[in-house]
A and B are shown apart, each in its own frame.
Chain A
Amino acid sequence: MAKVQFIKSADVKPWLAELAQQHRVFAPAYDGEALIFRPFDPELEVVLDRAATMPPKKTVFPQSEMLVDFTYSKDPEDLSRVRIEARETLPEGKTLVFGSRPCDVRGFTMFDRVYLSEKMTDIYYQARRRNTLFISLACSTIENTCFCHWVGSDPCDHTGSDVLAIPVSGGYLLESVTVSGEKLLDSQLLADGASRKAEADKFCHEIAGLLGSTRDLSQAPEKLLAVFDNMEFWEEVSAKCLSCGACTYLCPSCYCFNITDETSGMKGKRLRSWDNCMSAQFTMEASGHNPRPTKAHRLKNRVGHKFSYYPAIHGGVTSCCGCGRCIKSCPAGIDIREIVLKAINFAPAAVEE
């Protein structure tokens, strides 16, 4: 049985301060005009009334992280012999993210299928994923860019979260999702929330209603494959794309990376850093050949991967959580929904005799 507690709005900060004793706590706060997840600081205003510019992706999947640090040393007897000493650098410590949105956190479940599969485990990812807890907040406003309901989610979805907070009068209802989440709900600042459960349910029902009608994407995997070789289609939908990395880096479910060695003198580190399929370098081969030479090829991959290739190997799950960030923050106003629908509705022109 999930534990259900209530917290007064005014007690959120004191509660976070409490939690910060055992965790590195991140909460949404402004940095300039951007709303990002920042280390909790009692002096910072925690902003919960809109979705953050940037999802809390960095907490589990840092923009750049050291995998190995290494040192070269020369054998004094035989200078042509160089030894390399390498040390694995696994992340440590517990992290807690407060105020993530259901779509943000659902994104990590897309990572999990890839990095924590039966065949392969990414130990760096695993270490952070295990040690990071999420207290997500159900959305109370719907933006034009939100479409979580198209991809099987909703504003009160708790998938991937440890606790789900739902706005109720005077504060939030806190519902544990996992055992670790339940342990977070022990504070003196919290009161039993059972009596407010009905109010919370009503809230979730109403907010889901605001999302409006959904679209059937079941044909997307197949239809996107059908236009795979239709470069004219892709050139047209990508014409205004600038081939930057904004959409992928802001996407809670984009997980690609690059590995590079940064060496200085006899020391160095092997880094894993974000990479993205919209970049020309992403598929650049050592020979100089690039199998995805144009932005049309790249955008095809971004859309195709999320709505066709990923679902094809992961039980039909779309690897887009409908957060809308790629739409909202795209400098060219590319709308991924429009592209998917266009592919679904695409009827090849009748072949002329």
Chain B
Amino acid sequence: MPVLKGKELRIVGFLCNWCSYGGADTAGVGRFTQPTDLRIIRVPCSGRIDPLFIIKTLMNGADGVLVSGCHPRDCHYAEGNFYARRRLEVLHRFLPILGFEPGRFEYTWVSASEGQRWQQVVTRFTEQIHKLGPAPKIAGPEASKTLRQMEAAL
């Protein structure tokens, strides 16, 4: 864990099966050093990623979410990442209204051969999240008790 001092944060990655998951694998096989905060969820295609997965991940306490798919025009299913790009861009712009820093979520493209690039992406994203620190957490069922405090903050 060379780039990071201190505690790990919770970062979740949604990676497409055909490119980015392969890219992460390539990086692993090549023994490129990477921060270890990221937990990967493999999905068939970036087009499978419902933006609500990302919102739910953040709501459940993740500190950052990274999505990576095939480069545009390289989608295994031809068009999945084109749809994904629109959805993810909208999400990226939408998140701040909820109070999440825009940088808590990024999306990018990494192909199966780009082990090196994967290493850079992970390292950079992890650094970005560490700079932001832990994400705001939603109060539990006891929220009404903290209502007053929150009102005071407004």
Chain A residues close to B by CB (< 8 Å):
31, 38-39, 41, 43-44, 64
Contact = CB atoms under 8 A, between A and B. Distances in A.
A126 B153 CA distance: 38
9 contacts: A31-B147, A38-B144, A38-B147, A39-B144, A39-B145, A41-B148, A43-B148, A44-B148, A64-B141
A44 B151 CA distance: 11
Contacts of A43: 148
Contacts of A64: 141
Contacts of A31: 147
Contacts of B144: 38-39
B44 to A, nearest CB: 26
B143 to A, nearest CB: 12
A38 B148 CA distance: 10
Contacts of B148: 41, 43-44
A43 B144 CA distance: 15
Nearest to A36: B144
Contacts of B141: 64
A20 to B, nearest CB: 14
A64 B143 CA distance: 14
A38 B151 CA distance: 13
Nearest to A31: B147
A81 B19 CA distance: 42
A349 to B, nearest CB: 51
A239 to B, nearest CB: 33
Interface string B108-149: 000000000000000000000000000000000100110110
A64 B142 CA distance: 12
A43 B149 CA distance: 11
Contacts of B147: 31, 38
A296 B141 CA distance: 35
A44 B148 CA distance: 9
B33 to A, nearest CB: 32
Contacts of A38: 144, 147
Interface string B9-32: 000000000000000000000000
Nearest to A63: B141
Contacts of A39: 144-145
Nearest to A66: B141
A290 B56 CA distance: 31
A43 B147 CA distance: 12
B154 to A, nearest CB: 11
Nearest to A44: B148
A242 to B, nearest CB: 24
A39 B142 CA distance: 12
Contacts of B145: 39
What are the 9 closest A-B residue pairs judged by CB atoms, nearest first?
Answer: A41-B148, A39-B145, A39-B144, A31-B147, A38-B147, A43-B148, A38-B144, A44-B148, A64-B141
B144 to A, nearest CB: 7
Nearest to A65: B141
A18 B145 CA distance: 19
A28 to B, nearest CB: 14
Given A31-B147, A39-B145, A64-B141, 4 more contacts: A38-B144, A38-B147, A43-B148, A44-B148
Interface in B74-122: none
Nearest to A58: B144
Interface in B42-91: none
A39 B145 CA distance: 8
A39 B148 CA distance: 10
A148 B74 CA distance: 68
Nearest to B148: A41
A41 B151 CA distance: 12
Nearest to B145: A39
A44 B147 CA distance: 11
Nearest to A41: B148
A46 to B, nearest CB: 14
Nearest to B141: A64
A41 B145 CA distance: 10
A188 B94 CA distance: 56
Nearest to B152: A43
A31 B145 CA distance: 13
A305 B22 CA distance: 60
Nearest to A43: B148
B74 to A, nearest CB: 38
A44 B144 CA distance: 14
B30 to A, nearest CB: 35
